[in-house]
Amino acid sequence: MKPADTTDLVCRVRRDEGGAPLAEFALALPLLLVLVFGTMEFANVLYQQHIITKGAQEAARFAARSPALVSSASCSPTGGGWAGATTAAANIAATGQTAGGTSIIPNFSTADVTITVECPASGDLLSSNPDSGSIPVVLATVSIDYRSLGFLDLLNLSNFSLSAQHREMGVGL
Model confidence over 140-150: pLDDT tens digits?
A: 999 999 888 88
% residues pLDDT > 70 (the chain)? 76
Task: List CB contacts of 61: < 8 A, sequence separation 6 or more.
Answer: 168
pTM of the model: 0.77
**76 or 169, higher pLDDT:** 169
| C-alpha triplet 47, 97, 111: angle, nearest 5° | 70
- Which residue in 64, 117, 66, 62 sits closest to 89, CA to CA? 62
